[in-house]
A and B are shown apart, each in its own frame.
Chain A
């Protein structure tokens, strides 16, 4: 019993510590910290209870956590102001981008340094179609998701031709060329000024309408999409396909000897990743209606890698949390120094050296002992 008491005590101490930190921070940061602390306490308790009383174990399972999250998501707009709601929508969209990177980096072991650029492609596609061609918004969105996925698959198909460690090099080259195109082909992308659209009203089968310029509507849209994407990705990664992905990550040669066509699975993985990247790109555009080349530069793409690694590769939930964590940390640091990226970069190196599994990965090991 003693270790149980110790662990619960530690969790409570962490929670109190978080509450203490909460006071000087902004409301938003405080809220996320509180949520994290509550999750840590419930999770810690759950893990302990499972050892003591196995029937309590499912408390921390997704099929129980999922509905709780849905309730929180639906009720949230009643409790927070519009500014905070907008921030949370943004964090979810960033999280979706990091999650789609996790499919490639965490499950397949392919580092991509082009994800912000790839998301930018679908943002640009929606903006160009809506401003130049004036298609129906849904048509523009579907076309943009297709274009973003296609760009990722093309990048992946070229990059899988070299060994894994060089994959990152080629994605960086592709990403920088996409940036150059967005920055300098002014006839298509309006150059450095970028494009601005009027935010469309999306009708869902005529049942209800979502006005993307309304912050509450947009929160429900982004929450619903990101939650659905997480659920789908989780299902895919738990399926046999996801296991083959992990097999490729652990030992490519052996997976090939077992009889799987490794390159086909790698390209399939980039396609899945590209699909969800494109969705996050579309949401990014619908958030503000503005897209510019600076959202596609190497620093933005690198930031996605940082979110995913700090959160924990190969866990899906990790990158989602990591993106919020790093973005809020940046929000907080920027009040003190203009060079906050320097601090985040140092934190990144320290995490890689000391805890390469990231936040969620380390917690998992801590709780489950595996």
Chain B
């Protein structure tokens, strides 16, 4: 029987891995929200689509560590392209209009994608074998290396996103569009292209997270709904539209839900997150960083 101390240490590390996965999903959501002013209810469904795409690709490639890495990249790219097609098809006509309409469209889209997954894959969860089964001894317990792999991959992606936002031309375009869409347009930033690419990028990030999470939980049609609630909480706590705030909040919520799972079972840990959200809404409605959430 493990003592409470070891249990807490283990859950803290598990929570860090979960938090980083959540950060991937939530930062894509935040980018789409900040740039396009779309509250993307379907974001969880792109995460689910990524997991299913990964599962399908892994059926072909077979399970090796390298094959899994290829799958992560490939599923991310495929879902990003899919997201760009969707953006061109049903979100483009609503650009610059009432933000209420894309919100409703994304809600309908999430319903459709969920039902489509249910119709094609059924209710039974798909199992993905973890690419790394080794464990390392850590504080007197065996800790799975795959969690460290998750942290490394998502850390790399988040770092890359950060540098990309700060240093590249595309990142400058994104920041300019967030600040002032019309002025950016006047200065020659191709705003429609930025919209399309940002939507694709957000969907790709969610998909990568979905593939990474597949070996831990099973791949199901309803997995998007579960993560989107946590992602919403993260985005509000982090400050709406702020990338660093979102990542910080994702880690916080990940740790909180991991610690909560010691004392409560399953999804009840989300009640804790709601309490944190309520506290933030009461005392700091603008979140960790950013003022966009304020009225």
Residue numbers of A with Cβ under 8 A of B are 109, 111, 113, 158-159, 161-163, 165-166, 168-170, 172-174, 176-177, 180-181, 183-184, 252, 298-299, 302, 305-306, 309, 339, 341-342, 344-346, 348-349, 352-353, 356
Contact = CB atoms under 8 A, between A and B. Distances in A.
A158 B279 CA distance: 9
A341 B119 CA distance: 11
B103 A342 contact: no
Contacts of B100: 109, 111, 165
A162 B103 contact: no
Interface in B110-128: 111-112, 115-116, 118-119
A303 B281 CA distance: 27
Given A166-B293, A180-B268, A356-B101, A341 B115 contact: yes
B170 interface: no
Chain A CB within 10 A, most for which of B103, B109, B235: B103
Chain B CB within 10 A, most for which of A111, A169, A349: A169
Nearest to A349: B108
B90 A158 contact: no
Interface stretch (B137-145, B210-218, B243-251, B269-277): B269-277
Contact of B90 (A163, A173, A353): A353
A236 B41 CA distance: 32
Given A166-B39, A168-B39, A302-B107, A346 B293 contact: no
Contact of A165 (B39, B90, B235): B39
A158 B229 contact: no
B108 A177 contact: no
A170 B281 contact: yes
B274 A174 contact: yes
B236 interface: yes
Chain A CB within 10 A, most for which of B37, B112, B293: B112
Given A169-B236, A349-B108, A352-B101, A176 B281 contact: no
14 contacts: A111-B100, A111-B104, A113-B107, A165-B39, A165-B103, A166-B39, A177-B270, A177-B274, A181-B271, A298-B225, A299-B111, A305-B107, A342-B116, A352-B101
A69 to B, nearest CB: 30
B112 A342 contact: yes
Contact of A342 (B119, B236, B270): B119
B104 A352 contact: yes
B90 A349 contact: yes
B184 to A, nearest CB: 20
B282 A162 contact: no
B90 A348 contact: no
Contacts of A177: 270-271, 274
A158 B101 contact: no
Interface residues on B, range: 35 or more
Main secondary structure of the interface of A (DSSP, over half): helix
Nearest to A253: B295
A-B pairs with the 9 shortest C-beta distances? A342-B115, A345-B111, A345-B112, A349-B108, A348-B108, A161-B285, A169-B232, A339-B119, A177-B274
A345 B115 contact: yes
B111 A163 contact: no
Nearest to B277: A173
A176 B226 CA distance: 9
B294 interface: yes
A299 B221 CA distance: 13
A346 B94 CA distance: 17
A263 to B, nearest CB: 9
A184 B108 contact: no
A124 to B, nearest CB: 16
B188 interface: no
B229 to A, nearest CB: 5
A356 B233 CA distance: 29
B104 A169 contact: no
A169 B101 contact: no
A109 B294 CA distance: 17
B267 interface: yes
Nearest to A346: B112
A346 B89 CA distance: 13
Contacts of B274: 173-174, 177
A348 B105 CA distance: 8
B99 interface: yes
Nearest to A159: B281
Nearest to A110: B100
Nearest to B287: A162
B278 A302 contact: no
B267 A180 contact: yes
Contacts of A184: 265-268
Given A162-B293, A339-B118, A173 B268 contact: no
A111 B232 contact: no
A34 to B, nearest CB: 29
Given A170-B236, A339-B115, A341-B111, 20 more contacts: A158-B282, A161-B282, A162-B293, A162-B295, A165-B37, A168-B103, A177-B274, A184-B266, A184-B267, A298-B225, A302-B107, A305-B107, A306-B108, A342-B115, A342-B116, A344-B111, A349-B112, A353-B90, A353-B94, A356-B101
Given A163-B294, A168-B39, A169-B232, A353 B93 contact: yes
A306 B108 CA distance: 8
B2 to A, nearest CB: 25
Contacts of B90: 349, 353
Contact of B270 (A159, A161, A180): A180
Contact of A166 (B93, B108, B240): B240
Contacts of A111: 100, 103-104
Contact of B271 (A180, A299, A302): A180
B271 A158 contact: no
A176 B266 contact: no
